[in-house]
Amino acid sequence: MLGLNKKDALLFMIVALLVGIAPFLLNPFPEGSSLGQMFNAGYPDLMQRFVIFGILVIGFNILFGLTGYLSFGHAAFLGIGSYSAVWMFKLLGYNIVPAILLSVLVSGVFSLLIGFIALRRTGIYFSILTLAMAQMCFNLAYSVLGNPNSNFNLTNGETGLQVYGNDPQYLMSEGSREIPHLFGLAMRDSYQWEISGWLFTFNTGYYLSGIIMLVAFYLSIRIFRSPFGLMLRAIKSNKQRMNYTGLNARPYALAAFVISGMYAGLAGGLLSSMDPLAGAERMHWTASGEIVIMAILGGVGTLVGPILGSGFIEYFKNILSKINDSLLHQWLSWLPDGLEDGIVWVLHFFVGKGWQLTLGVLFMLVVIFLPGGLVEGGQRVGRLFRRKKGGADGASAKQPAE
């Protein structure tokens, strides 16, 4: 189907189905119940982040998963995409089509430039170079190009770029809407469906981003299965041998870099389309680190890993930052008092404002014990059950990437 083999088509259909029914899946508890306040994630803002970061990490995976080049500066392209989109809102109007097109284009140009320089080196040199260049972009956006008093204020510095009333917006006609929209379909419009206590929200922005993510996912499957993808894998497994066969690896790596940069720009443009505001903190290198964490957690080099990883992190970030001490006391009230206080004291550092600590610990555990991420974890569990049935399968150990 669509040029996919049976297995990939099935995977694609499952992902599409999950994206379609996510508003139900993410709201398993009745509205207003205590469990619902805690674990429900079916509100538009968060669901949009799920799919948009999915796009970002799918793109990152095309670079890191296939070629093995670990870019530590991918957030720069996300930020560049966001800024370009907001500029389109400022200049042309609130239709998101030109905004997203420009953000993909501009981040493509930037990734071509940065990739051209960074890909002259491999390994950690490459990581450090991308890190340095992303940090340079961050500094440029944060202070140099964002001085509100100069005539050349591209990014509006600390405040972040946003649309003001006196912006030209040349394509705005009388009736057009004052919020980001797709030919009149506003991104923040939602249809809410209430049945016996349950509340399901169907948000335009989410479904648009979801469809775009499915397209991005489809493209990434095609890239993974194409001769081009095979060439990228060759770069990862042995670049020298590839050189000996007379192939120049750099154009392929550069193409992968630009593609993944454009994915990041697309994600940035979508983020701005959901909320027309772009700030430099999106480009900070800790944001790049978070992209890497998502990719690793899901499973690098696998098709569905990036979606799992980004969804997992966004979901738990949301839940962990909601938990506080009194809630912990409430949950653990069945324990003896002293023990309860002790456990709450320990857990206190991991929840609420300390969710980043949990993220860091989780990340370390995954890198140490489960380098293949959640996908590998799932495979291991699956293998465990298969072995119990008696099938001694000689699953060959995966060779680590050099």
Partner 1 sequence: MDAIILQILNGLDKGSAYALIALGLTLIFGTLGVVNFAHGALFMLGAFCAVTVQRILSLSYSVLDETKKDFLGNPLKVDTHYIEAWFGPEIGASIIDWSVPLAILFSIPVMIAVGFIMERGLIKHFYKRPHADQILVTFGLAIVLQEIIKAYFGANPIPTPAPALFTGSFDFGVLIGFAENAITYPIWRLVYFIFALLVIAAVFAFLQFTTFGMVVRAGMADRETVGLLGINIDKRFTIMFAIAACVAGVAGVMYTPINSPNYHMGMDFLVLSFVVVVVGGMGSLPGAVLAGFMLGILEAFASMNEIKQFIPGIDQIIIYLVAIIILLTRPRGLMGRKGVMEE
Residues that bind partner 1 (CB under 8 A): 64, 68, 70, 72, 117, 120-125, 127-129, 131-133, 135-136, 139-140, 143-145, 147, 150, 240, 285-286, 289, 292-293, 296, 349, 354, 356-357, 359-361, 363-364, 367-368, 371, 400-402
Smallest distance from partner 1 to CB 208, Å: 33
**Positive/negative CA dihedral, 337, 339, 345, 348:** negative
Closer to partner 1 by Cβ: residue 121 or 380: 121
Amino acid at 145: L
Handedness of CA 39, 281, 366, 24 (dihedral sign): positive
How far apart are CB 348 and partner 1 at their closest, in Å?
8
**Nearest to partner 1 of 51, 249 (CB atom):** 249
State the CB neighbour count (10 A cutoff) for residue 94: 23
Residues 6+ apart with CB under 8 A from 402: 68, 236, 237, 238
CB of 244 to partner 1, least distance (A): 14
CB of 84 to partner 1, least distance (A): 20
The terminus-to-terminus CA distance of the chain in angstroms comes to: 34
**Cβ-proximal residues to 306 (8 Å cutoff; 6+ apart), any chain:** 54, 57, 58, 60, 61, 294, 295, 298
Among residues 146 and 210, whose Cβ is nearest to partner 1?
A: 146
Neighbours of 20 (CB within 10 A): 14
Smallest distance, Å, CB 215 to partner 1? 29
Residue closer to partner 1 (CB basis): 58 or 145: 145
Q: Least distance from C-beta 136 to partner 1, angstroms?
A: 4
**Structure-derived torsion over alpha carbons of residues 90, 206, 318, 107, reported in degrees to the nearest 10:** -50
| Residue 136 vs 182, nearer CB to partner 1 | 136
Locus of tokens 């909320």: 275
Looking at the Cβ atoms of 99 and 293, the one nearer to partner 1 is: 293
Pairwise CA distance, residues 266 & 49, whole Å: 13
CB of 341 to partner 1, least distance (A): 17
Task: Using the structure block, give the residue that is written with the tokens 């008093």.
Answer: 149
Closest approach of partner 1 to the CB of residue 361, in Å: 6
Q: How far apart are CA 337 and CA 274, in angstroms?
A: 46
Minimal distance, residue 354 CB to partner 1, in Å:
6
212 φ/ψ angles, rounded to the nearest 5 degrees? -65, -40
**Closer Cβ to partner 1, 126 or 206, answer by number:** 126
Give me the least distance between CB of 25 and partner 1, in Å please: 29
| Size of the chain, expressed as the number of residues it contains | 402
Cβ distance to partner 1 smaller for residue 196 or 399: 399
Nearest by Cα to 209 from 53, 99, 58: 53
Residue 397 per-residue DSSP state = P
Sequence-distant (≥ 6) Cβ neighbours of residue 346 within 8 angstroms: none
Q: Which is nearer to partner 1, 386 or 398 (CB)?
A: 398
Q: Report the Cα 133 to chain-centroid distance in Å.
A: 20
Q: Which is nearer to partner 1, 25 or 367 (CB)?
A: 367
Q: H-type helices in 71-95, by residue range?
A: 75-91
